[in-house]
Homo-oligomer: A and B are copies of this chain.
Amino acid sequence: MRSLLMSKDSDSAEKLICVGDMPLKKRVPFAALPPGFQSTFLDALTPREISALLKAARSVIISPHEVLQQEGEPAERLWLLRTGRVAVYRLTQDGNKLFLRWGVPGDTFGFATIVRTPAQYLVTIEAIQEGSILAWNLADCQALISRYPGLSKGVNRTLSKYLDGLIDRFVMCQLQSAEERLARVLVESAGQLGHAGPEGIEVDLKNEEVALAAHMSLFTATRHLSKWQRTGLLKKHRGKIVVPSLSCFEKIPAD
């Protein structure tokens, strides 16, 4: 079985066009996952179930700024992030974004499709990197679940993990100062979005995005980042933060 590598555009990639609710293109070969792929959802399933899932999946390429699902819209697909990164947030009435978390390969979304009635997405998800997802439409989901009741276990585990993570974030926002939150977001983002560079881990985020993730104003974020730059703990560029070592930021209270 041949596995696709983590490359941005796989062979199947370039012919695919992708928009929120666009035409799904082609069936996924059975071994569509990169080696070492980890997923809370899939890991709870048997090989047989995974295989059935993958056979029914359709692959879609995603591009930065693309909205993959929008809260309130009818939930029509369950999907798994294969490569790339996404941001999960909730919209406020005045159009602002309330950040909830980053999504990384292996994360599964759109459970509202099979769990909620009426099926409406709970959150908005936006791609922030090139990547690809595996998607299942409502009918296929239902068929799969009735054929493989074990899938519910994967859903359970994933929902439980999200609940856990959200409680943690809630605790963080209620109990920690802006500076502590920012440090934590830096560590988190470095781990989930960062890539190695000559001078340390590079995180391609604008101050504005970091501020969003840390739940503070752009100015407060900038101030602390500037301070840390003066102290030499990190270096800033336009749209990028370079951290030589995370250790200084990690010792901040965990919750």
- Provide the A120-153 mask, 1 if CB < 8 A to any CB of B, else 0: 0011000000000000000000000000011011
- Provide the A83-115 mask, 1 if CB < 8 A to any CB of B, else 0: 000000010110000101000000000011011
Chain B residues, CB < 8 A from A112: 160
SS of A interface (majority): helix
CB atoms of B92 and A255 under 8 A apart: yes
Chain B residues, CB < 8 A from A153: 152
Chain B residues, CB < 8 A from A231: none
Is residue A26 contacting chain B, with contact meaning CB distance below 8 A? no
- Provide the A216-254 mask, 1 if CB < 8 A to any CB of B, else 0: 000000000000000000000000000000000000010
CB atoms of A175 and B122 under 8 A apart: no
CB atoms of B163 and A122 under 8 A apart: yes
Is residue A4 contacting chain B, with contact meaning CB distance below 8 A? no
- Provide the A162-201 mask, 1 if CB < 8 A to any CB of B, else 0: 1110110111011100000000000000000000000000
Residues of A in contact with B, size category:
35 or more
Q: Provide the bound-state CA to CA distance between A144 and B169, in Å.
A: 33
Is residue A65 contacting chain B, with contact meaning CB distance below 8 A? no
Q: Provide the bound-state CA to CA distance between A123 and B163, in Å.
A: 11
Is residue A215 contacting chain B, with contact meaning CB distance below 8 A? yes
CB atoms of B166 and A167 under 8 A apart: yes
Is residue A116 contacting chain B, with contact meaning CB distance below 8 A? yes
Chain B residues, CB < 8 A from A170: 98, 100, 166, 169-170, 173
